[in-house]
Amino acid sequence: MEGEFYLGYLTSEVIDVNRLLVDRQNTSVGGTVIFLGTVRELNSENIKLLQLNYEAYETMAEEIFSEIETEARKKWEIEEITVLHRIGTLSVGEVSVIIIVSSKHRKEAFECCRYIIDSVKSRVPIWKMEITNKGKRWLGGTLIPPKEK
């Protein structure tokens, strides 16, 4: 990846949670649910992580994120949705993904936020490489199911 860029749902810059929340203050909503994905210190084998490197098929990822947001807006009455996923190299503790959902009532916001993160993890072409003292490896995950014949 060359240089820093911001397309829409993907960013190579540090996710500024406070700024995102301030930018979207909205007095018509009664509930805001925030999901933060962060880089864990230990991997699944309890080995200390040095870094995570996220790679995306960027143009496809942007399209799928947009599709997921559209689906979510059809399923629930939502005022605002913000989804932002980091790509590039992240250190332990950094935010890799943020999902903020605001609605008049909390129930819709919780359900919608859950739907979005689950969909992101099963459908958006993003991969992470784990870097430890023992080496590097791509983490296995979910095979994207075919959408059409």
Partner 1 sequence: MAETGSKIDLRLYASVKDLLGTDRIYLDWYDNMSVGDLREKLYELFPILSVVNAQFTISINRRAVDDTKLIRTTDELALLPPISGG
Residue 141 as a binder of partner 1 (CB under 8 A): the answer is: yes
43: tokens are: 């991997």
Which two structure tokens, joined as six digits, stand for 80? 């605002």
| SS3 assignment, position 11 | strand
From the CB of residue 45, how many other CB atoms can be counted at a distance below 10 Å?
Answer: 8
Q: How far apart are CA 125 and CA 58, in angstroms?
A: 8
Which stretch in 22-30, 43-51, 76-84, 139-147 sits in contact with partner 1 by CB under 8 A? 139-147
Binding range to partner 1, per CB under 8 A, among 12-20, 21-29, 75-83, 122-130: 122-130
Give the count of residues interacting with partner 1 (CB under 8 A).
35
| Residues lying near partner 1 in the complex (CB under 8 A) | 37, 54-57, 59-60, 63-64, 85, 96-97, 117, 120-129, 138-149
